Chains A and B, each alone.
Chain A
Amino acid sequence: MSDDHELRVSKIRDGTVIDHIRGGQSLNVLAILGIDGSRGEEVSVGMNVPSDRLARKDIVKVEGHELSQDEVDVLSLIAPDASINIVRDYEVVEKSRVERPDVVEAVLECPNPGCITNADEPVTTTFEVLEDGVRCAYCGTIVREHIASHIQE
């Protein structure tokens, strides 16, 4: 991967660079992070950029926002190859790869309308992370596709 490709999107001063997102998934990554530009965030997106590791990758740079561990956990569901770079004053101060957690809590909604997590009860949604999807710990429903569309509002 060359710096030339990195430079196709602008450098940021403080924030997060999410690199090595599978090609075409960057908009889902933004959805997972709840970033839609409505709060004036400065966001740069590179889509289908050539990559050595992945044939094509996406890059997302978010100014002024450092990802929390919870956000990284969820990110791992749709961008398992991603790397996270925390930038402060134009320098990368932390660099890490995402790791798939065993469970994700309080992030996704269960698509099963009959699930107790969709009733008005004090229950935290919990999904077991499978090889190829996630599974509701309460009703057992498996979600394999469009995981990002089940992110809790």
Chain B
Amino acid sequence: MRHDHLITSKQLAREDVELVLDRAAEIDADPAAVAERHAGKLLGLLFFEPSTRTKMSFETAMKRLGGDVVDMGSIESSSVKKGESLADTVRVIEGYADALVLRHPREGAAKMASEYVDVPLLNAGDGAGQHPTQTLLDLYTIRQNAGLEDLTIGVMGDLKYGRTVHSLAYTLTNFDAQQHFISPESLQLPREVIYDLHQEGATVREHDGLEAVLPNLDVLYVTRIQRERFPDESEYRQVAGEYQIDLETLEDAADDLTVMHPLPRVDEISPAVDGTDHAAYFEQAHNGVPVRMALLDLLLGDSP
């Protein structure tokens, strides 16, 4: 990896992605081979927002590499509650840990924090901005299920605030994927993201319904329509039903369609889909561990 910090998926060239995914596959095949690889190293977890999968998968990944974690804990029990700045917090924890993982509610927080530390800092989500490590596990899952070549993907749900979507969209431009974005008008991709995709030469197609594109998709990546984003409940109810996947919806899909979701889901995907060959979202969550092990291994370098 050419980068000390992982702040945005825009940093990830195709060869970076392939390096991480190949390393993840090696680790997945033989996790025992790296069980002591980073013994004695510590990963600092700074989560300023609630997180289950991301936080636990980083913790698991570090421990499976033989290392350990130091956890800032909840905001309520930390110095943040006393008014400490993020810049000060990361400078303090840098002194304890060999690498940092940051989740923060503000866009650009990881970039700013990285300017204050010398140890590798990984962005585990910054507001509605970016979530690049999620993208790497998404790509790993896509590669396992559908391959990354000649990919046609539909990304559906809250595309405006969905940081996983923004990160994924940028990285897929490296693979010349055909990307279809399906959302209510009020939750379309931010124009900044569209601008970047055009700059990268990507063809962006936006839709307000799934029907027309579903039969052509290799992957359908679903995100939660966030009720709290709507000014009133009736507007939410109006659109929410249009963006739910059930067995009936999938009748028009290709037999080998892969359905993904960064989780947690609420009612975007019916539990009836879980038992079908389409469902890859739990596998996707499980892939967080080998992918984050690979990433940490590459960023932490050789064992002491």
Q: Chain A residues in contact with chain B, CB under 8 A?
A: 112, 114-123, 135-142
A-B contact pairs, 5 of them (CB 8 A): A116-B112, A117-B108, A123-B115, A139-B106, A140-B129
Residues of B within 8 A of A142 (CB): 191-192, 195
Interface centre among B108, B129, B196 (most CB of A within 10 A): B108
Interface residues in B183-197 by Cβ distance below 8 A to A read 191-192, 195-196
In the complex with contacts A114-B128, A120-B85, A138-B191 CB distance below 8 A: no
Q: Is A138's CB under 8 angstroms from B85's CB? A: no
Q: Total A-B residue pairs with C-beta atoms closer than 8 Å?
A: 56
Interface residues of B, Cβ cutoff 8 Å to A: 85-87, 104-109, 111-112, 115, 126-129, 191-192, 195-196
Q: Is the CB of A116 within 8 A of B106?
A: yes
A114-B128, A138-B112, A139-B108 known; A123-B87 Cβ under 8 A = yes
CA distance A70 to B177 in the complex (A): 42
Give the distance to chain A from B199, nearest Cβ to Cβ, in Å.
Answer: 10
Q: How far is the CA of A122 from the CA of B86 in the complex (A)?
A: 9
Query: Apart from A114-B127, A138-B107, A138-B112, what 6 extra A-B contacts exist at CB < 8 Å?
Result: A112-B107, A115-B107, A116-B106, A116-B126, A121-B87, A140-B107
Among B85, B87, B115, B192, contact of A140 (Cβ-Cβ < 8 Å): B192
A137 touches B111 (CB 8 A): yes
| B residues near A115, Cβ cutoff 8 Å | 106-108
Contact B107 A139 (CB under 8 A): yes
**Contact status B87-A114, CB under 8 Å:** no
Contact, CB under 8 Å: B106 / A114: yes
Contact A122/B85 with A112-B107, A115-B107, A116-B107 known, Cβ cut-off 8 Å: yes
Tell me if A's interface is mostly helix, strand, loop or mixed. Answer: loop
Q: Which residues of B contact A139 (CB under 8 A)?
A: 106-108, 127, 129
Secondary structure of the B contact surface, majority rule:
mixed
- B108: chain A residues within 8 A (beta carbon): 115-117, 136-140
* Cβ-closest chain A residue relative to B127: A114
Given A139-B107, A142-B191, does the pair A123, B129 have CB atoms closer than 8 Å? Answer: no
How far is A126 from B107 in the complex, measured between Cα atoms in Å?
14
- In the complex, A96→B286 CA distance in Å? 61
Complex Cα–Cα for A116 and B111 (A): 9
CA distance A140 to B199 in the complex (A): 14
Closest to A119 in B: B106
B107 / chain A contacts, CB cutoff of 8 Å: 112, 114-116, 138-140
Query: How far, in angstroms, from A79 to B129 measured CA to CA in the complex?
Result: 31
A138–B107 alpha-carbon span in the complex (Å): 7
- Would you give the shortest CB distance from A56 to chain B, in whole angstroms? 31
Nearest CB of chain B from residue A75's CB, rounded to whole Å: 25
CA distance A141 to B192 in the complex (A): 6
Q: Which residues of A contact B85 (CB under 8 A)?
A: 120-122
Minimum CB–CB distance from A141 to chain B (whole Å) comes to 6
Which residues of A are found within 8 Å of B128, using beta-carbon distances? Answer: 114
Query: Are the C-beta atoms of B87 and A122 separated by less than 8 Å?
Result: yes
B191 contact set on A, CB distance < 8 A: 142
Q: Which residues of chain B have C-beta atoms less than 8 A from A123's C-beta? A: 87, 112, 115
Bound form: Cα–Cα A122–B85 in Å: 8
Shortest CB distance B86–A (Å): 6
Per the bound structure, the CA–CA distance linking A120 and B89 in Å amounts to 13
The 10 closest A-B pairs by CB, nearest first: A138-B108, A139-B107, A116-B108, A139-B108, A116-B106, A116-B109, A116-B112, A123-B112, A140-B192, A114-B127
Residue of B105, B109, B128 most packed against chain A (CB within 10 A):
B109
